Amino acid sequence: MIIAANLKTNHNRTKTAAYLDTIEEYIKEHKSKDRAVVFPSMSSLCPSRERITIGAQNAYPVANGSFTGEIGTDHLDELAIRTLLIGHSERRHILNEDIGLIKRKFDFFAELGYEIFFCVGEPLEIKETGFESVLTYINRQLDGIDLTYPKLVLAYEPVWAIGTGKTATKEDIIAVHSAIKELSDKPLLYGGSVKVENAAEILAIDGVDGVLVGTTSWQADKYNALLASAQTIKE
Ligand code: PGA
């Protein structure tokens, strides 16, 4: 199981370090075997810990250059960061990253062998038009992405479930995950209002290989509770 925390624009450097300390302590104490991945904010990036992989929420597909506000591989290399989130719904829908840029990022970082957490998911207006539209929408997001890339981790995150407290139903998750699983055998996470209370049920679903969590993960004790849920499922 992969338990991934997307800290978004939360926790400065000091708070992130304390957060990681708490999680690492928990992992060691409870001998958690699940994989912990944390995506801190850009200025809080740091090298991975012994038991926690650190990933970047974003990077531009360059080593360096004139791209104001962005970071490239020079900056990731300095911290030995080899994991990257691409296609998150907030980057697609708030920061207006289009499918072309997302694909360019994927190709660039895949060529360099980065582990890529690639997010897909439909907005509410698509969901409301039915399951076939959802699949068509997701297929378009995956179009041109190498779904056999060895270091690919997929995440299904319905936009209407992100940060809204509204989790997809078990049936929704089963339906979409099995459709994505037909396209790729890579690990597939669910994301969108995963909470301590529903994590165990979601993690137990066939075709769910972990969770990508925002809001709930921002508190270290809640993140640790997610690890505890994962541990109960698989043992
Ligand atoms: P959420 O965010 O858990 O707050 O819904 C999930 C995500 O954005 O990855």
Which of these, 201, 186, 230, lies nearest to 4 by C-alpha position? Answer: 230
Using CA positions, which residue lies closest to atom 7 of ligand 1? 214
Using CA positions, which residue lies closest to atom 6 of ligand 1? 214
What is the rounded distance in angstroms from the CA atom of residue 77 to the CA atom of residue 66?
Answer: 18
pLDDT-based confidence at residue 233 (cuts at 50, 70, 90): confident
Residue 52 Cα to ligand 1 middle (Å): 19
Whether 175 shows a pLDDT value over 80: the answer reads yes
What is the rounded distance in angstroms from the CA atom of residue 127 to the CA atom of residue 135?
Answer: 9
How many other C-beta atoms can be found within 10 angstroms of the C-beta atom of residue 48?
Answer: 18
What is the rounded distance in angstroms from the CA atom of residue 97 to the CA atom of residue 158?
Answer: 17
Q: Active-site residue among 97, 122, 157, 177?
A: 157
Q: Which atom of ligand 1 is nearest to the CA of 212?
A: 9
Provide the percentage of residues in the chain whose pLDDT is more than 70: 99
Assess whether 157 carries a catalytic annotation: yes
Q: What is the pTM of this model?
A: 0.97
pLDDT of residue 167: 87
Whether 165 shows a pLDDT value over 90: the answer reads no
Assess whether 93 carries a catalytic annotation: no
